[in-house]
Amino acid sequence: MPEKLIVSVSPHIISEETVPKVMYGVILALVPAVIASLYFFGVQAIWLIVTCILTALLTEFIFQRLRRKSVTVTDGSAVITGLLLALILPPSFPLWAAVLGAVVAIALGKQIFGGLGHNIFNPALIGRAFLAATFPVLMTTWRSPFDAVTTATPLAMMKFEGVKTPYLELFLGSTAGSLGETSSLALLVGAGYLLFKGYIDWRIPASFLSTVAVFGGTFWIINPGEYPNPLFHLLAGGLMLGALFMATDPVTTPVTKRGRWVFGLGAGVLVIIIRLWGGLPEGVMYSILLMNGLTPLINKYTLPRRFGETRISRKFKVEEG
């Protein structure tokens, strides 16, 4: 009896990874940064994190019910948005303003595009951009760890005062800054777990961080008295948090391997341009959002050739598309 050929639709390879599993894996990877924020900034960190997470969950629930869609607040995506938003806010940020930021992050950054998998920009960064435009004073009011003394961030002190913060303080996190961005050590530990599990691709962080180091280091070599060195660029500000946990978002970043290199390179160049010559001491948020907007274009021009496809046919395909 002849064997029957069974033809089925893709996908033909099924992964054991699910959306909730990956999401909660990312949440677990952020635990070291959360612990560091609690250690350095105290109980206010708890309230800020809880407020952002609960608001994000409630906003997602309401929007999905209004749109008559399946309620998926248990998949962990809204928790990550709320948690990341809290970690990129100043420790003394008012809770009522954090509520507004979380609503905007979910409503305008995610649900308005159709929900998880359809958003163009990183939702947490959309929420932060809204807060930065609406409450610029609150978003630039920082305090030093372990007390309520108002101070400047290491990037601001370097840019406007020429004062360089010790590297050990930058690495451990005992500096002023957003709730979860100060400790490079905690962020690297969490990112190591994500890389081990295969939840993020190493190409974007590698190209992002190396571009910042090389591009920023070039100007340091030219004028070391005016510009910070590569190590300072890597450890200061929100670069580690942005490169390891936000630029690696699979929804808003390129799907191709070459595209991920391009994304990280572009984001790194933008960070240095803003840090050295912009009016703001930090540029990680804007660099990632700008590259999010270019992701569809990057995907289009970095797609690998199909088997049997010639360069000429590929050229006509790209031009027609």
In a domain, 144, yes or no: yes
Q: What is the CATH number of the domain that holds 213?
A: 1.10.3430
Domain count for the chain, please give it.
1
In a domain, 189, yes or no: yes
pLDDT of residue 24: 93
In a domain, 195, yes or no: yes
Contact of 144 with 165, CB cutoff 8 Å: no
In a domain, 279, yes or no: yes
With a cut of 60, say whether residue 315 has pLDDT above it. Answer: no
In a domain, 132, yes or no: yes
**pTM (two decimals):** 0.90
pLDDT band at 321 (very low <50, low <70, confident <90, very high): low
pLDDT of residue 161: 87
Q: How far is CA 38 from the centre of its chain?
A: 20
CA–CA dist 138, 135 (Å, integer) = 5
In a domain, 171, yes or no: yes
Q: What are the strands, taking DSSP E only, across the chain? A: 142-143, 150-151
**pLDDT tens column, 204-257:** 999 999 999 999 999 999 998 889 999 999 999 999 999 999 999 999 999 999
**pLDDT tens column, 81-133:** 999 999 999 999 999 999 999 999 999 999 999 888 889 999 999 999 999 99
CA–CA dist 151, 41 (Å, integer) = 13
Cα radius of gyration (the chain): 21
In a domain, 11, yes or no: no
With a cut of 70, say whether residue 8 has pLDDT above it. Answer: no
Report how far apart, in Å, the C-alpha atoms of 35 and of each of 38, 59, 87, 138, 181 are.
5, 26, 11, 24, 12
Task: Give me the amino acid identity at 133.
Answer: A
pLDDT of residue 79: 96
Q: Domain range spanning residue 60?
A: 19-301
Residue 77 corresponds to which tokens in the numbers above?
């995506």
With a cut of 60, say whether residue 312 has pLDDT above it. Answer: no
Which residues, in sequence order, are bridge partners of residue 151? 142
**pLDDT tens column, 47-85:** 999 999 999 999 999 999 998 888 888 999 999 999 999
Angle at 153 between CA 273 and CA 213, to 5 degrees: 40
In a domain, 7, yes or no: no
pLDDT band at 150 (very low <50, low <70, confident <90, very high): confident
